[in-house]
Amino acid sequence: MADQNGAPPVVLGSHPEPEVQLYYWMKLIRAFEERVSRLHRQNKILGGVYSGAGQEAIVTGICAPLKPGDFVAPLHRDLGVFLMRGVDPGRLMAQLMGKESGLSRGKDSFLHGGDMSHGVFGSTSMLGSSLPVAAGAALKFKIKREQHIAVAFFGEGAASRGDVHEAMNFAAVRKLPVLFVCVNNGYAYSTPFDKQTAVENIADRAAAYGFRGHVCPGNDLLAVVGLAERVIDSIRAGGGPSLIECKTYRWRGHSEHDPALYRDQRELLEWESRDPIPQLEFYLEKKRHELGKLRAEIDREVNQVIQSAVDFAEQAPAPKPEEALEDLYAGESAAPLAQIPAPSSLPAASK
């Protein structure tokens, strides 16, 4: 039975062992990203594609301890947040292709897509601007005494923005249930970290606001999820905000059109050798899982989910031109743009 948007039902995350479940999520996120990159080269994706390949352990580790009702504001590379929070892969792929069945009905790119029915807030091009929104969601949770938390992802580049500081300061003063996650991949587009800030860790700044900051190896899933569980439990229990900085690396350029010639290839090779998926596979093997059999099983599941998502998105209709001016205002009572007088018909301002 399809959902109200026509997407086929997909059961994700059905593995009983927690470590296998985490392995499934990382494999799904990586494969989904790789398929999107191929589709982009085939001119089937509308808008920019910003790969998070190599950073799957961060999204997986942070989102795994979250509960229904929590609020998440992801970055443009955090496509995996949508999958882990329960957004249907078909609708997500339709969003990337600009189809009517996408999250924004074909009216915006993936970069700005969100799904509040699953607690996922759409990002904006001004990365970091979602942190005050997350602080606002956390304030609502506190006022209503709800046991939910808000999570906001940002990069080390966005750490220099004023609204990032304002959000953290406000959250600290009000002791809000919000987790700030800095994905430090070393480059803000082409600007290396040491050319942007004099501190060694973004997390060091948390003490100045009055809450704890933590530094974590972002390519080590077990380290990320272990720290995330402890920090999120503390926030949910009323401990106030926290900051986790995950050190990682951006395997590809800023976007698919960026060859990233400003990077040292030896640096890239060093970080690619720290691929989080083989690291977890080594752990699974040590826990006496039959890795070859498990990998084949997970790959089959992942490929089926992704192919179903692509098939659904490619068959989905394009948005209708006559609906272009819909969804501009909240609520059905708001006047559509066509009913608003054009500037030439407005009364002249009095002199």
Tell me the two tokens of residue 297.
């099983």
Report d(CA 208, CA 192) in Å as an integer: 24
User: CB neighbours (10 Å) of residue 344?
Assistant: 5
Contacts of 319 (CB under 8 A, 6+ apart): 98, 99, 100, 105, 106, 107
Q: State both tokens at 2.
A: 């399809």
pLDDT in the model for residue 347: 37
The whole-angstrom separation of Cα 126 and Cα 320 is 29
Residue 179 pairs with which residues in a beta bridge? 151, 242
CA distance 291 to 299: 12
Q: State residue 222's pLDDT score.
A: 96
Length of the chain: 351
Cβ neighbours around 229 below 10 Å, total: 14
Cβ neighbours for 33, distance < 8 A, ≥ 6 positions apart: 51, 52, 53, 79, 80
| CA separation for the pair 265, 300 (Å, rounded) | 33
What residue ranges define each of the domains in the chain, with the CATH number in brackets? 18-345 (3.40.50.970)
pLDDT in 10s for each residue of the chain, 351 residues: 344 444 434 445 567 889 999 999 999 999 999 999 999 999 999 888 888 889 999 999 999 999 999 999 998 888 899 999 999 999 999 999 999 999 888 888 777 888 999 999 988 777 889 999 999 999 999 999 999 999 999 999 888 899 999 999 999 999 999 999 999 998 888 888 888 889 999 999 999 999 999 999 999 999 999 999 999 999 999 999 999 999 999 888 788 888 888 888 898 889 889 999 999 999 999 999 999 999 999 999 999 999 999 999 999 999 888 888 887 777 654 444 344 333 333 333 333
Token reading at 128: 């970091």
Strands 212-217 and 71-73: unpaired
Task: Quote the pLDDT of residue 131.
Answer: 96
pLDDT, residue 186, reads 85
List phi, psi (to 5°) of 301: -60, -45
